[in-house]
A and B are shown apart, each in its own frame.
Chain A
Amino acid sequence: MGKETESTTNRTAADVIAPQGLVPSSVVSRGICIEGELEGQQNLTVEGRVKGRIHSKGDVVVATGGHVEATIVACNITIHGRVDGNIEAQEAVEIAPQGILIGDCRARSIQIHEGARFEGRSDILK
């Protein structure tokens, strides 16, 4: 029973979150809130809420409906939802059409789509 449960859980998480051949992601789903510090090597998708600090060597995606009230440091940061806090990407920041960023942004490249909202200072890393 245990092994069956484990394989089912892993298959679901892996298939849905990370297609084969890609680094598995972590996900904070809708309905869940994390207050505190998150540090990791992997990609992270936030569909729920995070308050505090996110530090990742992978990519961070704030999905539609996701709300982050935190400082984010990551390789790439993509915002479809809302971020209140300063963000820093080693590579690129992308704010999608419905995305909202209230805070300062530092990155090697910054892409803000039409319809996105950005209130803060931007700084391009060299």
Chain B
Amino acid sequence: MVFWRSRKKDKSTPSASEGRLNEAEQTLLGADWQVKGRIYGKGQVIFQSAFEGEMDIQGRVTVDSSADVKGNFCSEDIHIRGKVEGCLTCSRMVTLEETARFEGEMTTPQLQMEAGARLNGKITMDKTRQR
């Protein structure tokens, strides 16, 4: 309670909703969270957490280095720095940074991999999914 009140009193510090009006709609699931289920909608989603389930996002998905996600994922852009296991369907581009660990199936029109990234599975380069 003190946490939220202290922020309201400090006019130089925007509240969670006020400050975010000027930013792209961004969902952040922090490292200490565990989420199971289905996530869908429009915007940008950043995983630092563990996630298990299905995801369908019109926008960009980032799997940060602390994240461990499993399931079926569908998005426009998928940026991976952490661990991903499952089936990815991407309509624009998948990026695997050097800390990325991917295991499963991937369908995407474009794939970018940095040195050090690990990819085990099947990749289908499918231009027809490009939007």
Report A's interface with B, CB cutoff 8 A: 2, 5-6, 9, 12-13, 16-17, 19, 22-45, 47-48, 52, 59, 61, 63-65, 76, 78, 80, 91-92, 94
Residue of A nearest to B114 (CB): A2
B28 lies within 8 A of A26 (CB)? yes
A80 to B10 CA separation, bound complex (whole angstroms): 19
Known: A2-B97, A13-B28, A41-B32. A61 touches B4 (CB 8 A): yes
B39 lies within 8 A of A29 (CB)? no
Query: Chain A residues near B20 (CB, 8 Å)?
Result: 16-17, 27, 29, 47
**Which stretch in B41-49, B86-94, B121-129 binds the other chain?**
B41-49
A59 lies within 8 A of B3 (CB)? yes
Of the residues A42, A91, A92, contact of B33 by C-beta under 8 Å:
A42
B37 lies within 8 A of A35 (CB)? yes
A43 lies within 8 A of B33 (CB)? no
A39 lies within 8 A of B34 (CB)? yes
A-B contact pairs, 15 of them (CB 8 A): A6-B64, A12-B26, A16-B20, A26-B28, A29-B27, A31-B41, A32-B42, A36-B36, A38-B34, A38-B35, A40-B32, A61-B4, A61-B16, A65-B17, A78-B4
Known: A19-B13, A35-B37. A43 touches B43 (CB 8 A): no
Residue of A nearest to B20 (CB): A16
Q: Contacts A16-B19, A52-B37 known; list 19 others, CB within 8 Å.
A: A6-B97, A12-B23, A16-B23, A17-B16, A17-B28, A25-B30, A26-B33, A27-B27, A32-B57, A34-B39, A36-B38, A36-B53, A39-B33, A40-B32, A45-B17, A47-B16, A63-B16, A63-B17, A78-B4
Report B's interface with A, CB cutoff 8 A: 1, 3-4, 7, 10, 13-14, 16-17, 19-20, 23, 25-30, 32-46, 49, 53, 57, 62, 64, 79, 81, 97-98, 114
Query: Chain A residues near B7 (CB, 8 Å)?
Result: 19, 22
A52 to B40 CA separation, bound complex (whole angstroms): 14
B43 lies within 8 A of A40 (CB)? no
Rounded to whole Å, the gap between the CB of A34 and the closest CB of chain B is 5
Residue of B nearest to A27 (CB): B28
